[in-house]
Structures are given as structure tokens and as C-alpha cells.
Amino acid sequence: MKIVHSWLNDLVPVGDDVDAIADAITHLGLAVEDVARVGATVPGVVTARVLKTERHPDAAKVHRVFVDAGDGVERHVWCGAFNMQAGDVIPLATPGTVMPDGRAIEPKPILGIPSEGMLCSARELGLGDDHSGILILPEGTPLGVPYGEALGLGEEVVYDLDVLRNRPDAYGHIGVARDLAARFGLQLASAPHVLAPVEPSRSAPVDIVAGDRCPRFTTVVISNVAVGPSPDWMARRLAAAGMRSINNVVDVSNYVMLETNQPNHAYDFDTLGGGGFRIRMAAEGETIVTLDDVERTLTAADLLICDATDRPIGLAGIMGGQNTEISDRTHTIALETAWFEPMGILRTVARMGLRSEASARFERGADPYGIDRSVARFVELLRLTCPDLVVHAGMVDARSEAHMPRPTRIEVRPVRVGQLLGTAFTAAEITALIEPIGFACQLDGDVLQVTVPSWRPDCTLEIDIVEEVARHFGYGKLGKTVPKSTVPGGLTPQQQRRRRLRDVLLGLGLSEAMPHPFLAAGDLERAGLSAEAVRLVNPLVVGDDVLRTSLRPGLLKAIEFNESHRRPGVSFFEIGHVYPPSTDVLPAEYEALAVVLAGVDATAAMSVWRELVAAMGWGARVDQGAVPAGLHPTRSATLSVGKDVVGAVGEIHPDALDAYGIDERVAVLELNLSILLAAEPKVAQWKATSRFPSSDFDLAFTVPDSVSAEKVEKAIRQGAGGGRVDLSLFDVYRGKGVPDGARSLAYRLRLQAADRTLTDADVAQVRERIVAGVGKLGASLRG
């Protein structure tokens, strides 16, 4: 909402300290986002009279102009335009002037003769597009004065306010003025003169059919209207507020709206069928051509203004129709000033996507009882350009009383105000703060009976009054205290585990990615995952409407992106939510972890999993028999705890890699963190380190491919019995010397007893047991 300073000053004498006023407005809750100065003149450009012009024999494109800038001194200026004659008044940019385009005026000589300034075109002064010649000012313009002053340009300061939903009244200058008057203890301008209607009576009768949507509709017939230009000051203020000047009638209509927040509409009374109005709901499919020349198709939920012959002439509260528009020949107008039910306007506006200055005000809530004042103001202002206008007796004030808003009364407990604001207020102090903005207060025992002004439909509860008190007292004066928390601060165990998990992943050299949670249609299928997913109704990007059910597609895109930027081999992890479909109230959302390792095989993912098992105290069954969707069928496994699948580990299926345009292997680990982080982890328990020397030896087995290394390891540990054994697989070999369908697995063992040095015989016995145990798996010791 643009508030024009001079306009505001007419309504309340706030003075000229623009910064202080902007600050006050902001701290009243009407954030000033910008203060602009519009229509500013260029300093240094003054009016001057042309004394004579003269050609120079050696200059073809310029001539010499001699001017008087009001001080009687003859000045010489070179000029490239030839449209002026002796006696013309023109704008002269004196040396030192900086033009709006940044050019500085210097006494630059041509042919050795200096120029004492520059004559300006309209465009050069930012006054329009005309650059065909020097701007000739009206005859009789005083000399030596700033051209803006001579043209009556006058600068306007404009405050651009971010008016929020709770302050519909601040969409009018008067609403802002009222707040400022209260803040500065100033008197608000008095209401305009009351109307003095005269005979003969001329009425525009109103038939309200849809009273719930149109509780009040007033009309007044005004004749002897002469359509013409508006006064300069009005056109200037409208322009500063962002509206173009059209003619005096339309301008007054807009001016009154911007001042009082009450939209109105002037109809050419002579084109109004039947000379009256009918307010009804539209028929389904009915059409109307609005002022913007668009034919609009209506529904039964849209409110129409029709003339007395039931012809639609306006979309109520939103936009008038073309057929009754004011024209140059208009002599008599019917002025509509009405109040429409806000939600109905809002719905029609939302459905049609058609917003107007009027609808913006009606949907937020205009003042149903402010209509009379706004009509009086309309007449007062129109009379400035139409001194002979006649306001006819027979004004109509049609109401559906049952639907008119009643004044809101709120019981306010001063004690409660203090309890919520942290500063005690007496009933008298509260009254002194809110009465100046129109809230009538009456003390009733311990309670203040507050009557809300009709222009503040946002206030319905005690807490709304608490806010008004705080706003006008000043938030900054309420002090700062710190409540004493009686609960211990901290992260939940699950949140602590998530932090630990992230630290371990970072320590493993993995970097954190955050892909978009929306996928395009086909992204899941390309990854080999089920296409079944929850979709967005209104995606931002057409097609990106799938809510991810897996972190995998996003990370595959990240790998592809980096590969295509010559960064193969990236390792990423992501911790984020996925949203699988569900028949519950909400999708089966859970937190997931995915690790992707480009350029390495599935064992790298297993190695990350084992590290997490060790660090997080997790455990899960690694089932290579159950291949997770989209993963490599011979290089992947499902991770499960009991009956719950908690994750997947392995490699991305080559088909998926192809589909994502990835040229390297990608190892992957996916975990359901909502399950894993919720579980109490196994805490590592102390085992005493042995003080006795260890016995170290290596064992290599030829193991059939059908037997997993995990089984071999288990057999070795069993063979070692109760003694402590450290075990590591240090070589895997396939090829010469090993039969097809088998591989050699070489382990390094370290045996140690807690209570003694192992003898050669002890070690030999253990070794024998191990070889026998592993042998049962179909493996044999390599020679």
C-alpha cells in the first residue's frame, strides 16, 4: 500500500520528518518497506527566456542561443535544437548540474566559444518521451526559478507499506493517519461536510436479492457533472500512489477509495437500464464483459450487480462492466457505495484470478458503517471540479439488516493484559492507549468493556486488544526478561545417535548431499524401484510431482552430475525423509540414510555397513538371498532385524546405471533410520586385554563360491573356542591353482589366552579344530 506523505499530512499534521514518520509507521506494525521520492526535479535546472538566436557560419548542426535566467544577464548557450524563438521560456541546465542520466553540464566550448549551460528537452528532464526539441514552458512562466516549481511538479514522498491481513483499515490513508495521530498525540482531520441533497428527488432504487452476500448497498444520484481533468494535486497524488489520472469522476472515485478504504463505483445514470440496481447471484454459466474488456463466465457462487432490467453491469466488489462506464458526455451519475461479505469476494477472486483495488479491500473487510462518510467525501471532492453539481434527494440505503455486522464488544481484563505483556496496565492506561484509535472503553468492575470500531473487523477477542495495547504502548518499552527453563535442555537419544552417525560417515570420507525431495515421473522406475508413490497435486515444475520413496534417485542424479563435470568417484551420503504411500492419515514417512560410493564395488558398501555396526552398536542379518529392488542381483543383500527390513547393501543394478547415464560402478547402502536410531544400541563391553604373548599364524582355504566368507569366519571363531582370536581376511584369490567355482580366502589369526602363554601344543590343537570346522563347509586348507 502506497501512502503519500502530503496526503497523510492533510489528514493528520505529522510534519516533515520523513524518517521519523516511517519509523513510527513501522513500529505500529505497518512495515515501511521503502520510502520513495517521486516527481523530483533536477536541481540546477531553472527557467530562462530566449533573447535571440544566431547561426554561426562554421557550425551547421548547432546554433547560438542567448538567454536571460531572470537576473538580466545575457548568457550564451550552444544548442542543437531549433524549435525555440525569441521570447520563449525554456529550461536551462546551468553549469554544474547533474542530469538524471548522470551527465554533468560543463561550459564546454565549441569553435572556441564556451556554452554557459544546456537547454533541455522533456525527455532530458525525465518528464516524458519527447525529445523532438527543447521543452517550451507556458507563456508567463516566471524566470530564474526551478522548472519543477514553475510547472507545479512538486515532489511527493511515498511510503510503501507492507499492510498485513489484520489491518484492513490501513489500506486507506485515514487508517494510517489514525494510528499516527494516536502515536503522536495529534488530532485527526475532521469528517467531511455532510451531504445537502436537494430536490428534485431522483433515486436509483436497489433490490438486494442476495442479502447474505450484499448486506448494504447505497446509491445517490448526482447531476450537473462535467467530465474533465482533475486538479494537478489530485492527479499527482494518485500517480504517486500508483494510479493513473483518467478524469475527474474516476479520479475522485479512486481518491476516495485510497483515502477511506471504501471502494465505490460511479455509473452513467442515463445508461443504467431501468434506472436502478438488482443485486443477485449469477446464474451458472452467465457471462459479463468487465471493464478490462474480458468476457467472464460466472458460477452460481459469484455475486452480480445488475441494472433494474436484470442486465449484469458489474462483478460485485471486483470490477464494473463496460456497458455503464463513465464517458466524456456523462452528465448524471449514480454512485454505488456498498459493503460486500468478504469471504464471498475472496472466493470469486481466487477462482477467477481477477484482483482489483476494490476486491483487495472488500476481501479484507471494508467498514460497513463508513459508507456515509465516504459518500460525503466523494461529493466534496467532485464539487472542486463541478461546482454546479446537484446531489439529489432520494438517496437509497438498502440493507439486509440481518447480515449487517454488529459492533463487537470484548471483555478485557487489565490484569490479563499485564500477565501477557509483562508490564502492568490499569484500565485507565489501556483506555488512554486504545481510545484514540477508536476503541470505546467502559469500566465494568474489574473488566473493561471494549467496543471495537467498525473498521477493525480483525478484533474479536481479548488477545486482539492485548495486541493493540502492546502496539500503541510500544514493543520496545515492554522490556526483556528471560524465562527460567525448568526442563533440562538437550538432544533426545535418537538425535544424539543421528549426530554420531553423521560424524562417523564424515570420518569415513563421505560428503553430505541434499537432493530435491521431488522426483520426476519415471525417476523411480529408472532406478529399478516401484513407481508407486504419493504425488503432488500442484507441482512447481510440471512433471516434478513425485514424492520420493527412496533417496536413491536423487543421489544417482548427483553422481551423474559430478561425472558429467569430470568428477567421477564421488562418495555421498544423505539423511532425509522419504514418503512411501500408505492408507493411513499420512504417508508412511520415515527417515532414511543412503550412502553411494561411485567407482567401487559392493564390498566397499559392506565395509561402510560394518563400520556403522561397530560404531553405532547396530546389528542386522545380511541376506544375499533377498535382492533389494534396483540393486545388482548377484552383488546385493537385504539387511534385516527380526522381521523388519532395515536396509539394503550392494551395488546399483547396471540397468539403473545405464538409465541414469552413469559410467562407473556404484556401491550403495540404504538404511531405515527411523527404526535403527530408535533402538537402544548395544554398548560395547570391556574385555580385559591379555598380558600374555600372542601366537600369530595364517590360514588359507580353498572355499567353494557357494560358501560365504562370513560362514568361514564363523567356523574359524568356533574352532578357536573360548580363546580370544583376532581375525582378518587379507587376501582373496581366484585363478591358477584354485579350482573353478571356488576361491582362496587367506586369513591372519592372532590367538591369545587371558591367563597364560599358549604352548605350541595349544596352538596346534586350535589350528586342527579350525581346519576341521572349516572343512565341514566343503572348504579345504591350501598347502
Partner 1 sequence: MIDDVRAAADAAVARLAEVAVLAEAQALETELLGKKGPFAEFKTRLGGLATVDEKKAVGQAVNEATQRVAAAVQARVAELKRAERAVQLEAERIDLTEVLSRPSRGHAHIVTQAWQRLEDVFVGLGFQVAEGPEVETDWYNFEALNMPPDHPARSMHDTFYVDHGTPGSTVLRTHTSPVQIRVMQRVAPPIYMIMPGRVFRNETTDATHLAVFHQIEGLVIDRGITLADLAGTIESFTKAFFGEGFSSRLRPSYFPFTEPSAEFDIRTPKGDWLELGGCGMVPPTVLRAGGLDPEEWSGFAFGFGIDRMAKERHAVGDVREMYTNDIRFVEQF
**Based on CB atoms, which residue is closest to partner 1, 88 or 464?**
464
Q: Which is nearer to partner 1, 14 or 533 (CB)?
A: 533
Residue 476 or 741 with smaller CB distance to partner 1: 476
φ, ψ of residue 61 to 5 degrees: the values are -95, -15
- Nearest residue (CB) to partner 1, 89 versus 533: 533
Phi, psi (degrees; rounded to nearest 5) at 728: -145, 135
The residue (of 406 and 484) whose beta carbon lies closer to partner 1 is 484
SS3 645: strand
**321/554 with CB nearer partner 1:** 554
Separation between Cα atoms, residue 605 and residue 591, nearest integer Å:
20
Asked whether the beta carbons of 460 and 169 are under 8 A apart, the reply is no
DSSP codes joined into one string, 240-308: HTT-----HHHHHHHHHHHHHS---EEEEGGGSGGGSEEEEEPPTT-EEEBTTS-EEE--TTSEEEEET
Least distance in angstroms from the C-beta of 76 to partner 1: 50
For 247, phi and psi rounded to 5 degrees? Answer: -155, 175
Q: Bridge-partner residues for 217, per DSSP?
A: 338, 398
Do 430 and 412 contact (CB within 8 A), yes or no? yes
Distances (CA, A) of 364 to 255, 257, 263, 344, 553: 19, 14, 12, 11, 45
Q: Are 449 and 406 in contact (CB under 8 A)?
A: no
Query: Is 167 or 280 the residue whose CB approaches partner 1 more closely?
Result: 167
Nearest in space to 91 (alpha carbons), one of 46, 149, 33: 46
Q: How far is the CB of 415 from partner 1 (least distance, A)?
A: 12
Looking at residue 351, its amino acid is R
Q: Output 342 or 628, the one with its CB closest to partner 1.
A: 342
Single out the residue of 401, 394, 469 nearest to residue 431, CA to CA: 469
CB of 32 to partner 1, least distance (A): 11
**Least distance CB 555 / partner 1 (angstroms):** 8
Whichever of 359 and 638 has its CB closer to partner 1, that residue is 359
Please state the closest distance from residue 407 (CB atom) to partner 1, in A.
21
- Distance of closest approach, residue 575 Cβ to partner 1, in angstroms: 8
> Do the beta carbons of residue 39 and residue 176 sit within 8 Å?
no
CB of 29 to partner 1, least distance (A): 3
Cis omega (within 30 of 0) for bond into 200: yes
Residue bearing cell 467525501: 377
Distance, CA of 197 to chain centre: 49
Using only the alpha carbons of the chain, give its radius of gyration: 42
With respect to partner 1, which residue has the nearer C-beta, 188 or 459? 459
Phi, psi (5° rounding) for residue 147?
-60, -30
Nearer to partner 1, 540 or 683 (CB): 540
Beta carbon of residue 330, minimum distance to partner 1 (angstroms, whole number): 36
Rounded CA-CA distance 135/153 in Å is 15
Q: Name which of 33 and 74 has its Cβ closer to partner 1.
A: 33
* Nearer Cβ to partner 1 (339/701): 339
CA 353 to chain centre: 18
The phi and psi torsions of 93 (rounded to 5 degrees) equal: -85, 110
Start-end of H helices in 111-172 = 147-151
* C-beta closer to partner 1: residue 265 or 471: 471
Q: 536410531: which residue's cell? A: 677
Q: How many other C-beta atoms can be found within 10 angstroms of the C-beta atom of residue 183?
A: 20
Question: What CA–CA distances, in Å, run from 420 to 226, 329, 359, 435, 456?
Answer: 57, 61, 36, 20, 22
Distances (CA, A) of 203 to 211, 218, 378, 754: 20, 11, 18, 112
Closest distance to partner 1 from the beta carbon of 3 (Å)? 17
Shortest distance (Å) from residue 350 CB to partner 1: 8
Shortest Cβ 511–partner 1 spacing (Å): 4
- Contact between 531 and 632 under an 8 Å Cβ cutoff? The reply is no
- Least spacing, CB of residue 579 vs partner 1, in Å: 5
Stretch (H or E) spanning 382? helix 371-385
Which residues on adjacent β-strands are paired with residue 281?
A: 303
Helix runs in 201-241, H state only: 232-240
Q: What SS3 class is residue 322?
A: coil
CB of 483 vs partner 1, minimal distance in Å: 4
Strand 277-281 and strand 303-307: the pairing is antiparallel
Order across the sheet with 45-56: list the strands.
74-79, 59-68, 45-56, 89-93, 118-119
Contact, 62 vs 53, CB < 8 A?
A: no
The backbone torsions φ and ψ at residue 325, rounded to the nearest 5 degrees and listed phi first, read -60, 150
N residues, the chain = 783
- Closest to partner 1 by CB, 16 vs 162, is 162
Smallest distance from the beta carbon of 514 to partner 1, in angstroms? Answer: 5
Query: Which residue lies nearer to partner 1 by CB, 350 or 428?
Result: 350
Tell me the residue type at 714.
K
The residue among 22 and 46 lying less far from partner 1, judged by its C-beta, is 22
The minimum distance between CB 736 and partner 1, in angstroms, equals 33
